Amino acid sequence: MRLHEYQAKALLAAWGIATPRGVVVRSPDEAAAAAAGLGGTECVVKAQIHAGARGQAGGVRVVPHAQAPEVARALLGTRLVTRQTPPGGLPVDVVLLEAPVAAVRELYLACTLDRRGGTRVLLASGAGGMGIEEGAAPQAWPIDTVRGFSAYEGRALAKAIGLNGRAVAAFGELTARLVDLALDKDALLVEINPVLVTADGELIAGDAKMEIDDNALFRQPTIEALRDSRQGDPRDEEARMRGVQYIALEGDIGCLVNGAGLAMATMDLIAAAGGRPANFLDVGGGTTAQKVAEALDVIAGDRRVKAVLVNIFGGIVRCDLIAEGLLVAARRFERRLPIVVRLVGTRAQEGRLALASGGLEGDVTDSLEEAAQLAVRRARAS
């Protein structure tokens, strides 16, 4: 789960990490009042979406206070397209106004996961801001998640990226607090880019990103409450509400499978047969007829889907119960949608008989390779 910049900065501030003075606005009138309250003569107007590269797309602008309402009006209610968004962009419902920070240097800092090493890691670079991806590789510092991360280690990291003077101590405190925040909130990523260094050595979070582990949200209710469902794919959001593991893709063959490994193998076979999967969908090893029906509803809601491949291995689950769910969902389809079903395992024969007697419009087989080939042919014929 991703957070908006203003939400991430609120958490940073709660952990004692300095952020620019800012106000969240949802209308041009609010922007006028907010700009006047920030002091100075200029403000930074920042569109809030779950993607980076906003500045390069016109989503971040430094303007005189008098122009803040006009810029907010131009952003609010639109869809901002950046190189990190889907082709249609993401909706701008909120704008953040901030007081500019006079910085003499920009750094990069992030706490993230090292999946290869099986631990968290701090990434730091003496150069931050836009274009960080094209810059030098950051320094990586492993984190002992049991012992935590000390300001002493942070100071050593500061020297490694070329800091000196008061900024070294400030960086040590910043890194220690950043790691504490990431551990406390089950964050997969906490990124500050840029870290703004002022003339007196103060460090300020110029921008912030946070991604929280979805599997840990049950113990993060205050984070869950910050979810902005409009920033995600509507199909993903519907699947999440139904408790289905779903990822939308770009093909036209819907996939409904029980088990992540089996789902990946199914997608591979579709590709080998010359087709393109429309989604990854795992209903789980111990799925129910109700969940299968809901998963099919999600797939059928994607207008690009021309055929559906259902691949169920009945280990824990009974195939005849799965057949019931398939029939229930198929009767609700608003359009003709060919279904190819591969049922193998516990009570598979009874499941196939139930599908036949229930009048399912589709093909039933016990061969996965044949099922993939059939699904591709049905999609091409639709």
Do the Cβ atoms of 68 and 45 come closer than 8 Å?
yes
Do the Cβ atoms of 360 and 330 come closer than 8 Å?
yes
Tokens of 335: 């359009």
* Catalytic-residue membership of 152: no
Amino acid letter, residue 233: D
Burial class (CB in 10 A: 0-12, 13-18, 19+), 137: exposed
Strand (E) or helix (H) holding 48:
none
Instruction: Compute CA distances 335 → 225, 264, 301, 357, whole Å.
Output: 36, 27, 10, 21
CA distance 317 to 295: 16
Do the Cβ atoms of 147 and 169 come closer than 8 Å?
no
* Catalytic-residue membership of 191: yes
Q: What is the CA 293 to chain-centroid distance, rounded?
A: 26
- CB burial of 237-272 (b: ≥16 within 10 Å; e: otherwise) equals ebbbebebbbebbebbbbbbbbbeebbeebbebbee
In the set 5, 98, 106, 191, the catalytic residue is 191
CA atoms within 13 A on the CB side of 162: 11
Helix (H, G, I), strand (E, B) or coil at 108: strand
CA distance 169 to 202: 10
DSSP string, 156-169: HHHHHTT--THHHH
In the set 106, 108, 238, 246, the catalytic residue is 108
Positions marked catalytic: 108, 191
